[in-house]
Amino acid sequence: MPAQEGVYVDLSELVSYEALARQIAVSFPRVTSNLLQGNRPSRVNGRGGAFDQIRPYFHGDDVRDIDWNVTARMGGAPFVRMYHEERQRPLLLLVDQTKDMFFGTRTQLKSVLAARLAALLLWMAHHRKQPYGLVIVEEDRVVSCPPRHHKGHLIHAFTCLARANQALSADRQQTRAVERLPQGLRRLLALITRDTLAVLVSDFHNLREDAWHLIGEVAMKTQTLAIPVYDGIMDNWPQRGQFLATYGAIEAELTFPSTPRRQGVEGRARQNLAALQDRLAKAGVGATPFSTYLPAHEQLCKALNIAGGSP
């Protein structure tokens, strides 16, 4: 099934992010306050490990890693020596592809943003030689790919992700997300090993208490980060009048008849996102929200503190 821009992704699109993710991985500053470090300090300290490569210096790199001999040979532009840590941390993603994610007012649906972000993170882990795994929460099942590190495993993960994304439809009357997400979290818990970094990508809409309990268990077991995806209309409400919303392949015009009506809706949306971040924080999970109105890679660069907001 061919992808519809912003409505579905396909395998070729997810594979095409390789070069972009490589640029982000190379530019990735080695600081402890970035997206992929999670909400707790790493147990791996120092600069130990095997030598990997020499690359140009980027803002945020440790100046102690500058190779002055190479820098002199290259005319003074600083270059740094990169090392692999002796213990490569597995990256384990949980990606929500249930009907609640099949919504958007512009640019891309929440389900598409989640899939694109997952592809970038998996490619980054591949380029950084980390094991990577994936748990996909679908309407009718949970699919998992245990952490591995080889190209065939990555393509298999992308194939499963694209299939799950394309299975979504606005024709389905009810969602089983509240049942499936706890199942996905249990599967995630079963795959977590020592030093795993767990990343949860969802809108976290209408979670039951058993799901919140499981999120807390994941956070107790390993470093955990949540990426709440939200519709970007929250940051771009029209003053009044109509705007177009998309629920999968169905489009509808929504109307704000007055400024007070718009302000009321905007206020509730912001309160809901703030309450979600507070609940995640209480569960021991750091949260970095991503908007459907902006490209996944631009938001990822910003979250990683890469200068300029783009690779």
CATH, residue 127:
3.40.50.410
Same domain for 205 and 158: yes
Same domain for 229 and 93: yes
Could you give the number of structural domains in the chain? Answer: 2
Same domain for 97 and 64: no
Contacts of 13 (CB under 8 A, 6+ apart): 3, 116, 119, 162
132/292 Cα distance (integer angstroms):
25
**Residue 202 predicted with pLDDT over 50:** yes
- Estimate to the nearest angstrom the gap between the alpha carbon of 61 and the chain centroid: 23
Same domain for 128 and 202: yes
pLDDT at 251: 55
pLDDT at 78: 87
Same domain for 245 and 145: yes
DSSP H or E segment with residue 136 = strand 132-137
What's the DSSP call for residue 256? E
Same domain for 301 and 185: yes
pLDDT digits (tens, 9 = 90+) for 206-218: 899 999 999 999 9
Same domain for 245 and 105: yes
- DSSP three-state, residue 102: coil
Same domain for 130 and 146: yes
Q: What is the separation, in whole angstroms, between the first and last Cα of the chain?
A: 31
Domain range enclosing 51: 46-86
275/168 Cα distance (integer angstroms):
28
- Picking from 86, 118, 135, the residue at the C-terminal end of a domain is 86
Same domain for 81 and 150: no
pLDDT at 254: 59
Same domain for 208 and 81: no
Same domain for 194 and 59: no
DSSP H or E segment with residue 77 = none
pLDDT at 91: 94
pTM passes above 0.85: no
Task: Report CA-CA distances (Å) from 272 to 107, 157, 225, 236, 298.
Answer: 22, 32, 19, 16, 24
